């Protein structure tokens, strides 16, 4: 339960981009870092609004001003094969776009399985640039219409097709013991990792 709360808190903080017109279909995007690359396949056929939004950040080179800045793993983890890494622009007003509408996993059919990329948010419809990548299956991040309260989950919009070893390297990076608030304390990377994002 602690692990679940930690990872959930890690993705509730962020909010993401304005809609680009049209459905982009299947699209690949490469996130490059000094620790290696992560190749994503975005599911514009299933989550067109979220995919188009993310692509706008990529095509307009806005995401090049972003970083991986946070990781959430189980307390005392030594294997770094379960949790999330979070990246984006952290609501930097110089680069963020208006929020994107929420695309529930109940509608898209996409699931938060190993390698899923999804949008961080507060309330549904508040996602801006910030996203997270799952290591390990995390079905509790999916929508659960029978659940209490905000049961719409997070907007998964694609999957890692190459580079999960890079995800695990990022999860193993040192964190600041004092940065972050509440359950996020101790999860912020000591040195955020710059991202270069390109459509391929």
Residue extents of the structural domains in the chain: 2-199
Q: What is the pLDDT of residue 23?
A: 54
pLDDT at 20 over 70: no
Q: What's the CA angle centered on 196, arms 193 and 200, to 5 degrees?
A: 140
Confidence of residue 25 (pLDDT cuts 50, 70, 90): confident
Q: Which CATH superfamily is domain 2-199 in?
A: Cyclophilin-like (2.40.100.10)
**Three-class secondary structure of residue 194 per DSSP:** strand
The H-or-E segment that residue 166 falls in is: helix 164-171
For CA atoms 166, 125, 106, 24, give the dihedral sign. Answer: negative
Q: State the average pLDDT for the chain.
A: 89
Task: Sort strands 131-135 and 116-119 into parallel, antiparallel or unpaired.
Answer: antiparallel
Q: How far apart are CA 156 and CA 197, in angstroms?
A: 18
Helix/strand/coil (H, E, C) string of 140-176? HHCCCCCCCCCCCCCEEEEEEEECHHHHHHHHCCCEC
At 183 the pLDDT is 75
The DSSP element (H or E) to which 199 belongs, if any, is strand 196-199
Quote the pTM value: 0.87
């Amino acid at each position: 339960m602690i692990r679940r709360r930690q990872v959930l808190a890690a993705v509730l903080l962020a909010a993401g981009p304005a809609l680009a017109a049209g459905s982009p279909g299947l699209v690949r995007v490469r996130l490059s870092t000094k620790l290696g690359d992560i190749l994503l396949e975005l599911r514009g056929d299933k989550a067109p609004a979220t995919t188009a939004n993310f692509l706008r950040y990529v095509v307009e080179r806005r995401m090049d001003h972003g970083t991986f800045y946070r990781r959430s793993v189980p307390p005392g983890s030594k294997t770094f094969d379960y949790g999330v890494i979070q990246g984006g622009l952290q609501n930097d007003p110089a680069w963020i776009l208006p929020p994107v509408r929420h695309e529930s996993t109940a509608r898209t059919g996409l699931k938060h399985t190993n390698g899923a990329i999804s949008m961080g948010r507060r309330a549904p419809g508040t996602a801006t640039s910030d996203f997270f990548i799952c290591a390990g299956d995390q079905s509790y991040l999916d929508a659960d219409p029978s659940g209490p309260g905000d049961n719409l989950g997070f907007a998964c919009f694609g999957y890692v097709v190459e580079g999960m070893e890079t995800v695990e390297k990022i999860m193993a990076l040192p964190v600041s013991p004092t940065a972050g608030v509440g359950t996020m304390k101790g999860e912020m990377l000591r040195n955020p990792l710059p991202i270069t994002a390109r459509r391929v």
